[in-house]
A and B are shown apart, each in its own frame.
Chain A
């Protein structure tokens, strides 16, 4: 694939449901990042993987948020017991290594009703 692919593009869930967001990074990219973008704000860092290792999860807002990248490629961001404040665009980015520019997917727009 040419770029970072995220699915689904849009997700609507009821408060309290669990959701899973998928990211397919650019092939060969070692570093993978998740960001959360609220309306009118810039993206905010959630978590970072280098290959399958989650090196930084300091941006995850609560223990309801969980991310994994078990084989060092595809990553999943899971949100349990969703709340209205989780409504945002979730962006995934990948880079060749940690000091190269990050390439972003088009994001998943999550709406919690």
Chain B
């Protein structure tokens, strides 16, 4: 039973446009939500996070939105750049039980 679902395995976006990556979760105990970015043959790199007490966190071109009632979060990248092409993982955790729980990832391709 998947606790974290990223229902879009892949996404293609034109350079300069907005990329929106979605994530749904089922465990209401999750209280801290992280996004990781992964290039081939490299480990995941931490990108941005949001605590459950917030509904938005912004860092440069990256913004994460959290809708706790819907158990849904999304990552917005604007403007998208070719270097953003990677696999993006949603990874929430329950801060009282520390392992990250990863979704299957969404492969983003930004086309120049």
Contact = CB atoms under 8 A, between A and B. Distances in A.
> Could you say which of B89, B91, B98 has the most chain A C-beta atoms within 10 Å of its C-beta?
B98
B105 A31 contact: no
A86 interface: no
A44 B102 contact: yes
A104 B102 CA distance: 13
B43 A91 contact: yes
Interface string A70-113: 00000000000000000000010100001101111111000000
B95 interface: yes
Contacts of A41: 104
Given A101-B34, A105-B43, A40 B100 contact: no
A42 B105 contact: yes
Interface of A: 4, 6, 31, 33, 35, 40-45, 48, 56, 59, 91, 93, 98-99, 101-107
Contacts of A93: 43, 100
Nearest to A58: B99
Interface in B16-59: 32, 34, 36, 41-46, 49
B101 interface: yes
30 contacts: A33-B98, A33-B99, A33-B100, A35-B102, A40-B104, A42-B4, A42-B89, A42-B91, A42-B103, A42-B105, A43-B44, A43-B100, A45-B99, A45-B101, A48-B98, A48-B99, A56-B98, A56-B99, A59-B99, A93-B43, A93-B100, A98-B95, A98-B98, A99-B32, A101-B46, A103-B46, A104-B36, A104-B44, A105-B43, A106-B42
